[in-house]
Structure 1
Amino acid sequence: MNIKELHATFGGLERRTLRPGPGLTVIQAPNEGGKSTWCAFLRAMFYGIPTRERDKQGTIAEKNRYQPWSGAAMEGEMRLTWQGRDILLRRGPRGSAPFGLFQAVDAATGAPIPQLTGSGEDLTGVSRAVYERSAFIGQGRAAVDAAPDLEARIAALVSTGEEEVSYSQVERQLKAWQNRRKYRQTGLIPTLEEEERQLCALLAQQEAAGERMRRAADAAADLRREQGLLQREEAAYRLRADSRRRQVWEEAQAEQTAAERDFQRIRQALFQDGPTPERETVRDLQEELAAVRSLTQEGRHTDALRATCVEQARQAHHRLDQERFFTGMDPDEARYTARRDAAQAAPRQTRAVALPLALLILAAVCAVGGGVWSPWLFLPGVLLAGGGVLLLWRTLRENRSRLRRQRELLRRYGVDRGEEILRLAEDYAARWEEAARADETMERTITRVDVIRRERDSRWINLLSTVRAFAPGAKDPVTVSAALSRALFLREKYQQAAQRLESARKLAQTLPPPEEPEEDGGFQPRYDLEETRARLSRTAAALTQAQREEAQAGGELAALGSPAETQARLEELRAQLQSRRAEYDALGLALDGLKEAYDALQARFSPALNRRAGALLAQLTGGKYDSVTVARDFSAQVRAEGEILPHAAAALSQGTVDQLYLAVRLAVCELALPAGDPVPLVLDDALANFDDHRARLALDCLLQLAGERQILLFTCHSREAHYLAGRPDVTICTLSDETN
């Protein structure tokens, strides 16, 4: 099989074309250049896209991942040589299924090819699972994992050629049947064993239920006799209680009369000078009186604090008025003035006299030149001399004036340096801010005194007017407090009297006039009343319990059924249990036989796979590793020449692991895939972790294998193209935004 041309609208590929050559084709592109998308497109053209796959956490289903970015329909075309014929494969949407439509036609005539149905196995000769684990190496997926299809394929090659089932599938089915009969504490056998235990327990329960029913019937008869005697004793005590109830009724009538008399006396005192408020209102008035007293005390304290604040403000202004330099200024103005004067009083470098002296020197040079060379030099000499004298005089005068101003400022502030003027300003600002804070505190205190006084007077007037409504003699806090205490006391006594009267009335109403007590006939109880009632209660409870146990035992015996039926069911159950145990043992023997057959099968296929994989790994690693051992799950180990123990893949570098599994995949391709029309080998960045030396060895190996099958090597590096440049049967493509 040889792929000649690919046309794709697939994922990020929008109407893109790829034309691989025969033999080895190196397809170079940077990261995100579309390499993995082309690989997925080629696989989808062979096998379609799984429609049942769903998005999962961390992975996106192919049908969603490779939807064209432009929103167009997912479609593609592949032209290839298959079994000596040039054919075209086309896939496109069918309804909501991407790539659901498949066509295979002859490239020359356009006639359909009926034997190609789109399953992929018609073209490659193997299932998708086998192809992905052999001739298709996805990015970062060089390792080979076990799959039922691959096991079935290997079994077919070394046995009868039947590929319908694999060892793992048969093993799972036998274990499922075995687990159905017994898996730990579940299955048919444990269920039957549990039922057997339950039936054995049922026979014992039937015998125990009959015995309990007989014992409960005897106990119930004894309890009925004792219950009758105790009921007669209780009746004797009831007659005595009737006599005591009459005495209680007479006492309740007397208590009601006394309670009514006390209630009327307290009510008259409560409303003597006016309606006394309720207890909650009186308590609120007491709290209001406490608040007035608290405000009075706070007013005294605040008034004393006001005098202190006034004195502190006076002292602060006195200290501020002693200021000599910044009088009438706020802190910002004082600081500005101090910075300005400090800058003027700071010592400065006197203006240099170098320029005037230079002019005078030049004038002297011109004078000498006029006497020696030309009289015309006297004129510039005179001008330079005049300018130098004038500039020197102005410089000296400015320096003397600046020094005089500095001495005057320092003398006026009474300091030696300009920095001390700034400290004077900061001291003034501190005293000014202190006076401002004292004024603010004094104002707040005076305002607080007025607020407290007004609030106290208002609340006292309201309180006094309320209290005088029921205590006219109240006139000051002491008499108001006494009036409130008396009102609260009367309210308490009034409430107590009302409750006493209410209780007495209820008691009198609930006690009807008792009848004359009957004679008890001189019967003498054995126990006192409490003991009699306790014994009667216990006897009734025991009788109820005995009757309940008798009924429960009878019901249980009726529910448990006949012992003969239970025994028959137990014998039938034991026969079933024996049959299931025999089946379980037979399945165990079948699993053992299957394992022996599979081991024999592996013994035929594994040596050939290990030899070929070892030869390929030796070629890929330059002879460092020459032995490979592939396990049942396709995990591999390597051993270098001269070493005794093999190395697991986890102990190797990532590059060596990729080389190991590349060798295994190439060996699987040769041994497990059809050899008549070999499918193309697709590698997506499979050499990314190879160093340059081993990458060249791998390219030599692939170039050798390209003589037997087409190889498509996708890479993000340029070293492969540089190394293979100019080689025969090598095609180098570079993917870009334009059509290839």
Structure 2
Amino acid sequence: MLIKRVSIEQFGKLKKQTFEFQDGINVIQGDNEAGKSTLQTYILSMFYGARTSRKFNLDIRRKYVPYHENHSFGTMEITLENQNLLVERKISGKRKEDLFRIYDRDTFEQAPYSENLGKDLLDVELEEFIKTLYISQNGTKFLNEKDEGLSTKLTNLLESGDEEVSFTKAMITLDKEMKLIKGGRKNGKLDRIYQELSKLHLNLEQSKSMQKRISEMHSVLTELEEEEAEIQKKKEEIRILKDRIHLYEVKNEFLRIRRNLQELKAIKKQKSTSFSLPEDEELKEIREKERKLRDLTEDLMLLEDELKGLKRRKIEVDLRLEPFSGYEEIGREAILTMVRLQGEELLLEEKLKYFRTDSTLNRNLLERREELSSLLKHYEKHLNGLKSRKPFLMIASFAILLTAFVVQALTDNHWAAAGIGGGSLMFFLLRGFLEKKRIAYHLRQVDSIEDAIRSMSAELQMNPDEVIRSKRIIDKMPRDKERLQLVRRQEEVELYKNRVFQLTNAKTVEDLLKGEEEYRHLLDEEKEIGKEILKTEKEILTRSERKENLFAAYKAHITEIGFREEEHDPYSFPDLLDLEIMRLQDLSNKESGLNYALKGLIGDREEQEVEQELDAMESLGITEDLDLKVLEARERDLSDRLEKIQEKSSELRLVMKEMNFMEPLQIEDAILSLQEEEKMLKRRYEVLELTRSLMKDSYEKLRKEFTGKLNEKVTAIYREITGKERTVKVSEMFSMNYQESGMLWEDTFLSHGSMEQLYLSLRIAMADLIYAGRKVPLILDEAFSSYDEERLHKTLHYLMKCTDRFQIFIFTCHKREVEMLKENAHIHIIQ
């Protein structure tokens, strides 16, 4: 988003003024009371309207509606996602008379944004905007209270990438649901369930008592009905017997018939079977299928045991891999880097040993090494000059003479060839003289340098020979600038090694290599076990499918014969068929003998007719001969008993009809439902408690992670705008400490300017985190009044690099910002 133009019709002291802004840095310079603060407030009002904030002493409606006017009005043109939008806002003395409109300048279509435009475009409220994007003089430091809005927003961004996913809202939701389950005043769902259960248990006891009474009455009524039926039956039997007195004459014969009939009936009942017995061949086929099923079942059990063993082995390998999780994170390349760094570290140590306080090298020699190095270099040069050059001079003479011959041959110029030849001869004759002159010169220089070396040796309290021999050591010694680079590289190497050792729990490179080898071995073992598990699972699946298909065919076969899954075991069903066949054969033999004997007793009479007569005799308990009078007397007694039974039955039915109650089963169902609901609510409450605890722990952890991330960003920005190596620590209340020289200091130990720069770094770091990925305006109002020239230059240089994510507005009454930025910013002068 970019602010392109601001047109003010009337707002405070500004009237009918237009300000053009550009991408990058915009400097607004003017004297005190020229209207810079009014312009800043106007930009705020275009985003947030006539909002008030006591914390920041902001009351737009009261302060910026012009005197003798009833409203302020103006427009602002912004560019958003290749769309030119025009914002119009009128602020009146009363809120209901305010006006807000935003539309596309090209199409005049209304844009879908509310009056709270800053919240819609930047996702922050007014105070959060002021705390991050509005930086005033002495206002970079946060207020003393904990800024829960910014802290929560930043932590939410770190946790989920969405600053609106609020931990606080989630905790409130959890607390509300937990309160609904367990109310503080026993008005929760669980308390209502307990009350309802108490009532239902009381009703259940009453219902069971009444049901028991009714059950007893039912039992009595059933007994009466059975007795009534028995009496009716006996009366009917007496009537029949009165017609068949002659049966008593053949009682003994009938008793023998009865025994035979009963035995025959028992045999027929025993012969009845639910099976359709198979032939021998079919039975063999059934047994073969059953055997194959048993074999497959045993194979599957062995394979499943093998699979369990493999999975246990994989779990063991996974547990052994857990301590090596750091090796997976750093990768193979880091191991190779550690081996290379070991050699580099030794080389760094060797180079830096000259700078140690315990070094055996003369400290004075170190301090004067540049002077001594130059002196020894000249000494070595002149010593080399003492070496004989006669062979060289002779070769040079011959070269010149050869040149004369070449010139003569090519140009046929005798004078030139003669001149060159003469010169060659002269040089040859004078070579001894020239050689002596050169050696004499180098001897003088060597003597002079040796005098200087002896003088310096006395000053350094060293033997001159030791000084001369120290040249090689001095040449190897790194310079101060190189020493800083070496120290920095040594720190980087140590930091990298510590990180790798911390992740892998190794103490040396040898431990690291040994651990990496064991880690690779465990990975290979885990991979091999995984292949075996997949192979075994595939084999189990194949055999399970074969078993299911065979079992389905086997079950279909035996079901046709009479197999019932709820009554029989499919694997023992063939044995059951064998026993059934043997039993039926035995019963058939017994039945044939009884049929033959019974035929001799009853002759041609129907078996059913004979059974009825025998039942009548037995029910009446006839054990001796009776006459007709005895039967009539018994019939009268039965009638009297029947009348009394019917009268008592009527009374019981009347009482049962008048009893009204809820069935215990219905009450028990209601109790079970409530108990199930109670269990669900308790489980839900436990889950909510655990969730609340885990969320709280996770939130605290994320806040700490966010603080670390913010510390790194603030430290980097502060280092760039000050050039100071200080590690910054930001607290939850956005106060700051810094680490320097191995100690932690409060920000109050800093100068006013350094503290301003520290908190400016914090503001920019927070803005980077909150508005990442979006271009937003950054307003600085006299933010550099406490800065010296050097730090102001570094700060402005850093801000120029921030223009890819901020449109920067610098309001100042000074001219130095204008001078420094005149080539890199858009300048506005307010008169």
What TM-score comes out, normalization by structure 1 length? 0.40
Q: Give the structure with higher Rg (CA).
A: 1
**Structure richer in helix, relative to its length:** 2
What TM-score comes out, normalization by structure 2 length? 0.36
